[in-house]
Amino acid sequence: MPLVFHHGHGSPYSWRVWLALEFLGVPYELKVLSFSAKDQMKPEFLALNPRHHVPTIVDDGFVLWESLAILEYLDERAGGPPRLYPGTARERARIRRLIREDEEYLDREGLTPVYDEFYRKPEGAAPDEARVAEARRRLAQELDWFAGELGGRPFLAGEAPTAADFVLYPEIAYVKRIGGKKPATQLGGMLPPALAAWAGRIESLPFFDKTFPPHWRS
């Protein structure tokens, strides 16, 4: 029985898992939940995951949520190669550090406040300019940080993508999307060239297109 992957289009947490499933070549059955239909609050989904979050996987009766726990589980389950966390203990620790830095700084201090101000406020409410300016400043610092972490490599940990790349990519996709859709955010053109080129490499992976949120195509 294939592993069941409950996904929501546009969820950065779920997108990282989809990229990983494809990269590892794990067979899976995709179940897309509609946030607008509140599928995640329906009794059948709550029975699986009382936290009503995607991503959630079901592997032969074993239910797991939290994207980072899922990535580590999938990596161990598949056994590799390829691996999401390859290399020595130190190399794997660096991948985990990059993931935590992405969540703590780039996402929480940079991207999320901008998203809150432009997408989560009631219709017609003006964004808090001071909050946006500070978040943009932090975001620019963190984008430079990750460009530096590439250090001229094709992917964050070397020649092949790892969990660090699949966690970072959806955040960068959001920077690109928000910058294009909402010029007032001034996120457009913010990506350092090395990070823009890296995003292009992720987007060229043979499985990338199927994971792209369909509602982002318009």
Ligand X SMILES: N[C@@H](CCC(=O)N[C@@H](CS)C(=O)NCC(=O)O)C(=O)O
Q: Which residues bind ligand X (CB under 6 A)?
A: 8, 11, 13, 40, 52-55, 66-67
- Minimum CB separation from ligand X for residue 104, in Å? 12
Rounded to the nearest 10 degrees, the angle between the axes of helix 163-181 and helix 112-119 is 30
Quote the CA–CA distance of 66 and 53 in Å, as a whole number: 8
Secondary structure of 152-179 in HEC code, one letter for each residue: CCCECCECCCCHHHHHHHHHHHHHHHHH
Distances 187 to 2, 124, 213 between C-alpha atoms, Å: 40, 21, 20
SS3 104: helix
Instruction: Characterize the bridge pairing of strands 3-7 and 28-32.
Output: parallel
- Minimum CB separation from ligand X for residue 6, in Å? 9
- Minimum CB separation from ligand X for residue 52, in Å? 4
* Closer residue to ligand X, CB minimum distance, 196 or 216: 216
* Closer residue to ligand X, CB minimum distance, 52 or 182: 52
Cross-strand bridge partners of residue 64: 57
* Closer residue to ligand X, CB minimum distance, 121 or 153: 121
- Minimum CB separation from ligand X for residue 55, in Å? 6
Neighbours of 76 (CB within 10 A): 12
* Closer residue to ligand X, CB minimum distance, 95 or 194: 95
Beta carbons of 64 and 56 less than 8 angstroms apart = yes
Q: Which amino acid is at 165?
A: D
- Minimum CB separation from ligand X for residue 42, in Å? 11
Quote the CA–CA distance of 167 and 186 in Å, as a whole number: 23
- Minimum CB separation from ligand X for residue 17, in Å? 8
* Closer residue to ligand X, CB minimum distance, 54 or 178: 54
* Closer residue to ligand X, CB minimum distance, 8 or 194: 8
